[in-house]
């Protein structure tokens, strides 16, 4: 790839498409140029700009773990112009990818600790990268708990992986759907994520909490974590804002003086509290 041109994407072939939920798909992408693929590396938490040629670019995290090489995955909901075009593509089609951009989840610093993952809806994909990156080196962490909620049973993404995590004795998975979103054979919980979290009485000692979800979920989850003694330095989340360049130049994604693309997207709650209300 031409290093002079920071806006030129890698070409990626769609190797596999998985239907996750209504309107939600996962693409497994392979580098068209094998050399580029071999030289590519990223770290969990980072994101990229995916392009449908002729439509433009769209920003998502890399949803696959950095511990697995040779491909990347992204999971997206069909919502706007580019994602609608993206959703209409087939296996074998070519798209563009620029990245990896942004900072990372510091999982090296979390070794020897308990991990509590809390996700809502379509925000499981960024967290899935972290979860697998940790599960692929399971011996380095103590208890791993995952709380995942969606509006309805159909809206839960990564259903096969949820089943796999449920089976694992070394993972404590709790799934929940919003009241009214359950089906007759639903075996998980019913209730909003913050309510279920409160009922779980999470232990804050030696525990890192990672929270990803819609703003309203995050807003009500933080007080619950606070109630159980989680300090702001031990609570992580990711922010998203509209982006074009992903490189701190186009002027869109800043929250006050902080660029989500360069300084984020991963922030601790301590950092979040210092940001002005502009996200």
Partner 1 sequence: MEKELKILKYNDLPKLIERFRTQGYPVLAPVRKNKVVEIETVESLDAVALDALLSTQSAKKAAFPKVEKVIDYTLGKNAVQQVPVNPETHPETILFGVRPCDASGFKSLDAIFGDTPRDEFYLKKKEKTTIVSFSCPVADSYCFCTSVGGGPGNTAGSDIQFTAISKEELLVEILTEKGAKLASHFTDLLSDTKGDIDKNKFLAEVKVVFDMNAVVGKTTASFNNTALWLEQSLRCIGCGACAFVCPTCACFDFQDEQNTKKGVRLRLWDSCGFSLFTLHTSGHNPREVQSQRWRQRIMHKFAYMPEQLHVVGCEGCGRCSRACPVDMNIKEHLTSIGEIVTV
Say if residues 261 and 60 touch (Cβ distance below 8 Å): no
Applying CB under 8 A, among 152, 172, 195, 254 the residue interacting with partner 1 is: 254
Applying CB under 8 A, among 20, 57, 73, 155 the residue interacting with partner 1 is: 57
Q: How far apart (Å, rounded) are the C-alpha atoms in residues 147 and 11? A: 35
Q: Does residue number 276 form part of the binding site for partner 1 (CB under 8 A)?
A: yes
Identify the three-state secondary structure at position 129. Answer: helix
Q: Does residue number 35 form part of the binding site for partner 1 (CB under 8 A)?
A: no
Applying CB under 8 A, among 41, 54, 112, 184 the residue interacting with partner 1 is: 54
Q: How far apart (Å, rounded) are the C-alpha atoms in residues 234 and 270? A: 9
Binding mask 224-243 for partner 1 (x = CB under 8 A): ----------------xxx-
Q: What residues have CB less than 8 Å from 264, skipping those under 6 apart?
A: 102, 103, 238, 239, 258
Q: Does residue number 18 form part of the binding site for partner 1 (CB under 8 A)?
A: no
Report the half-sphere exposure of 150 (CA within 13 A, side-chain side): 23
Give least dist CB 61 to partner 1, A: 15
Nearer to partner 1, 72 or 82 (CB): 82
Give least dist CB 253 to partner 1, A: 8
Q: What residues have CB less than 8 Å from 234, skipping those under 6 apart?
A: 204, 207, 208, 209, 268
Nearer to partner 1, 3 or 201 (CB): 3
Q: Which residues of 161-176 are buried (b: 16+ CB within 10 A; e: fewer)?
A: ebeebeeeeebebbbb
Applying CB under 8 A, among 92, 112, 169, 184 the residue interacting with partner 1 is: 92
Instruction: List the interface residues with partner 1, window 95-114 (CB under 8 A).
Output: 96
Nearer to partner 1, 55 or 143 (CB): 55
Length of the chain: 279
Q: Does residue number 37 form part of the binding site for partner 1 (CB under 8 A)?
A: no
Nearer to partner 1, 135 or 253 (CB): 253
Give least dist CB 151 to partner 1, A: 14
Which residue bears the tokens 């999971």?
Answer: 75
Q: Does residue number 41 form part of the binding site for partner 1 (CB under 8 A)?
A: no
Q: Which backbone phi and psi does 11 adopt, to 5 degrees?
A: -90, 135
As given in the structure block, the two tokens for residue 80 are 């706007």
DSSP code of 107?
Answer: G
Give least dist CB 28 to partner 1, A: 16
Q: How far apart (Å, rounded) are the C-alpha atoms in residues 50 and 52? A: 7
CB atoms within 10 A of CB 105: 24
Q: How far apart (Å, rounded) are the C-alpha atoms in residues 155 and 177? A: 9
Applying CB under 8 A, among 178, 248, 268, 271 the residue interacting with partner 1 is: 248
Instruction: List the interface residues with partner 1, window 176-205 (CB under 8 A).
Output: none
Nearer to partner 1, 4 or 201 (CB): 4
Binding site for partner 1 (CB under 8 A): 2, 4-9, 11, 32, 51, 53-57, 79-80, 83, 92-94, 96, 215, 240-242, 244-245, 247-257, 276, 278-279
């Amino acid at each position: 790839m031409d290093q002079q041109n920071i806006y030129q994407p890698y070409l990626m072939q769609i190797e596999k498409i998985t239907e996750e939920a209504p309107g939600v798909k996962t693409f497994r992408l392979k580098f068209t140029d094998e050399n580029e693929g071999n030289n590519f590396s990223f770290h969990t938490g980072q994101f990229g700009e995916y392009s449908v040629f002729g439509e433009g670019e769209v920003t998502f995290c890399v949803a696959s773990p950095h511990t697995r090489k040779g491909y990347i995955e992204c999971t997206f909901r069909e919502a706007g112009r580019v994602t609608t075009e993206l959703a209409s593509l087939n296996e074998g089609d070519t798209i563009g990818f620029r990245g990896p951009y942004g900072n990372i989840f510091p999982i090296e610093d979390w070794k020897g600790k308990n991990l509590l993952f809390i996700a809502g809806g379509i925000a499981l994909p960024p967290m899935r990268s972290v979860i697998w990156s940790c599960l692929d080196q399971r011996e380095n962490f103590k208890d791993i708990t995952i709380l995942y909620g969606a509006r309805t049973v159909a809206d839960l993404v990564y259903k096969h992986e949820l089943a796999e995590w449920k089976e694992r004795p070394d993972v404590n998975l709790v799934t929940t759907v919003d009241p009214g979103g359950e089906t007759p054979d639903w075996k998980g919980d019913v209730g909003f994520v913050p309510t279920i979290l409160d009922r779980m009485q999470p232990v804050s000692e030696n525990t890192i909490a990672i929270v990803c979800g819609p703003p309203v979920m995050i807003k009500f989850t933080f007080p619950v974590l606070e109630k159980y003694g989680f300090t702001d330095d031990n609570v992580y989340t990711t922010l998203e804002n509209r982006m074009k360049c992903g490189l701190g130049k186009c002027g869109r994604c800043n929250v006050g003086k902080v660029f989500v693309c360069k300084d984020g997207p991963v922030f601790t709650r301590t950092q979040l509290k210092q940001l002005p209300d502009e996200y």
